[in-house]
Amino acid sequence: MTTNVLRVARVLHGTTAEGPGLRSAVWFQGCTIRCPGCINPHLFSQSGGRDMTASDIVLGALASQVEGLTLIGGEPFDQPAAGATLARKAQELGLGVIVFSGYEYETLRGRGQDTKSFLASIDLLVDGPYQAWNQETDRALVGSTNQRFIHISDRYSSYRPEIAANRIDIRVLPDGSIDVAGFLDMRDLTNLLEATGTRRKSRRVIAE
Ligand code: SF4
């Protein structure tokens, strides 16, 4: 099955907080994994968010002159056909594709054709569920020690999460709220928002 329509919670073009280089980040709406301690339970429901086409997302990324897409969630592989379309279009136009999934690579490889097509259009997969009892303290971008960086192509083979820094993207919106992307744990996020006297609008999931 192919589809050009994705259910997304948020798209952020031109961020440096979601992987190497300047990126467009796409938060998928809906996650059936539901890890205990997930920082983004508001993304669990598949009825939230809005529909967007893969074409519009890729065109927005190109207009923002990003190096690539980061697909996070929610769970991108809960929408394998749409995810495959988005990733393929992005790669065809020269963009890199990084995907965070709460499923392990071996599980995904055993799934159907849509999932296989999605995997085939990814450069770097960060896999595994968030495990609150195995907090990561050394590597960038991931929240727990079980999560792996699996290079499906060599595009990001020089990326070293052991020495990379977590970056945070903070934007003040016209209504006075702040929009946060990047890696923060809940305590740091709460402290940040209290210090700035603003309220939470959205942020990146802490660990896929
Ligand atoms: S951490 Fe990711 S995979 Fe786990 S429940 Fe949250 S959104 Fe789903």
Q: Kindly report, residue by residue over 105-122, the tens digit of the pLDDT.
A: 999 999 999 999 999 999
In a domain, 83, yes or no: yes
Q: What is the DSSP letter of 135?
A: B
**Alpha carbon nearest to ligand 1 atom 3, residue:** 102
In a domain, 36, yes or no: yes
Distance from the alpha carbon of residue 30 to the mean position of ligand 1, in angstroms: 9
- Amino acid 56: pLDDT: 98
**Alpha carbon nearest to ligand 1 atom 7, residue:** 74
Mean pLDDT of 18-25: 96
**Alpha carbon nearest to ligand 1 atom 5, residue:** 34
Q: Is the CB of 84 under 6 A from ligand 1?
A: no
* Confidence at 180, pLDDT banded by 50, 70, 90: confident
In a domain, 34, yes or no: yes
In a domain, 44, yes or no: yes
Query: From residue 193, how far is each of 5, 11, 20, 143, 165 by CA, in Å?
Result: 34, 21, 26, 20, 21
In a domain, 21, yes or no: yes
Residues 6+ apart with CB under 8 A from 1: 81, 114
* Domain that residue 58 falls in: 5-157
Distance from the alpha carbon of residue 147 to the mean position of ligand 1, in angstroms: 12
Helices of type H across the chain: 54-63, 80-92, 105-109, 113-120, 186-196
Share of the chain above pLDDT 70, in %: 89
Query: From residue 143, how far is each of 102, 134, 178, 208 by CA, in Å?
Result: 11, 8, 23, 8
* Confidence at 200, pLDDT banded by 50, 70, 90: low
Mean pLDDT of 155-166: 93
173 pLDDT above the threshold of 90: no
In a domain, 179, yes or no: no
In a domain, 50, yes or no: yes
Q: Is the CB of 208 under 6 A from ligand 1?
A: yes
In a domain, 205, yes or no: no
Q: Is the CB of 76 under 6 A from ligand 1?
A: no
Distance from the alpha carbon of residue 79 to the mean position of ligand 1, in angstroms: 14
Q: Is the CB of 71 under 6 A from ligand 1?
A: no
- Amino acid 178: pLDDT: 72
Phi-psi region of 94 (alpha: psi -120 to 50; beta: other; left: phi over 0): left
Q: What is the CATH number of the domain that holds 125?
A: 3.20.20.70
Distance from the alpha carbon of residue 37 to the mean position of ligand 1, in angstroms: 9
- Amino acid 171: pLDDT: 81
Total of domains in the chain: 1
What type of residue sits at position 142?
V
Say if residues 99 and 5 touch (Cβ distance below 8 Å).
no
Distance from the alpha carbon of residue 72 to the mean position of ligand 1, in angstroms: 9
Share of the chain above pLDDT 90, in %: 75
* Confidence at 198, pLDDT banded by 50, 70, 90: low
**Alpha carbon nearest to ligand 1 atom 6, residue:** 38
Distance from the alpha carbon of residue 182 to the mean position of ligand 1, in angstroms: 15
